[in-house]
Amino acid sequence: MTKIRKRSNAPIFWGLFGAGGMLSALFVPMMIFITGIAVPLGLLLPANTMSYTKMLAFAQNFIGKGFIFAIISLSLWFAVHRVYHSLHEFGIHAGMGAKLLCYGVAFVSTVISAYLLLGLGF
Amino acid sequence: MSKRKPYVRSMDGWWKKNPYFVEYMIHESTALFVAAYAFILLVGLVRLSQGEPAWNAWLEAMKSPLSVIVHLVLLAGALYHTYSWFKILPITMPPVIVGGKRMSPCALTGSALVVAAAAGLALLGLVWRIAL
């Protein structure tokens, strides 16, 4: 008799974790430097680098939109996966509630950013 | 309910006893820095979608000394994430064979870090070109 085994959904979350970890490892340090340090302090980059017109154009561009979406959503899928699996290290037996909370944060943020980016138009 | 109270060893601070696990906990915690920055960006996106005054208010908020300090801390966390992510790469990816020989973990981490630096600089260059 062969049992029909339910397919695990773990590879999806591992995949999102891997993609987010890689993307954030490559780009997040420079992103933080640009948006949080260089532009606010007026270092290195032109003063109007993040002006409303420029950022709107960037967020309306197909590639720009994709980049913003990928950075926000994948970074969060990466982070919540790591936090969820670290609960064990603190002696917390993570159940369904913790899982829903962790992945829920990433899911809701993904939906919000997709909604806003689509709302900004092309 | 059973009245037995079996002894359960406490897990408090178990990782502090071994430098290997201290490093492990630090690199795992970098996820929180990355998440914090993703939330800052998400707020920025919300403000952008609310129009020019809201966006300018966000830009102004990013100029506050507190914000800059927070971003310096986040930058340190994110850089450590990059370093540790690629340090683990040799164990997390299939062996890379170059010229019939398995690439050493050191060479793999090193070249990945070079790629990461190049990706960061390319991003900076691209932003600079768009901004001009």
Task: Note whether A58 contacts B: Cβ–Cβ < 8 A.
Answer: yes
Q: Which of B32, B59, B82 minimises the CB distance to A50?
A: B59
List chain B residues with CB under 8 Å of A75.
Answer: 34-35, 37-38
Contact (CB<8Å) B25/A89: yes
User: pLDDT for B23-48, tens place per residue?
Assistant: 999 999 999 999 999 999 999 999 99
Per residue in A18-61, pLDDT tens?
Answer: 999 999 999 999 999 999 999 999 998 988 899 999 999 999 99
pTM, whole model, 2 decimals? 0.91
Q: Which residue of B has its CA nearest to A26?
A: B116
Long-range pairs of B25-29 with CB within 8 A, sequence gap ≥ 24: B25/A89, B26/B80, B26/B84, B27/B80, B27/B81, B27/B84, B27/B88, B28/A82, B28/A86, B28/A89, B29/A86, B29/B77
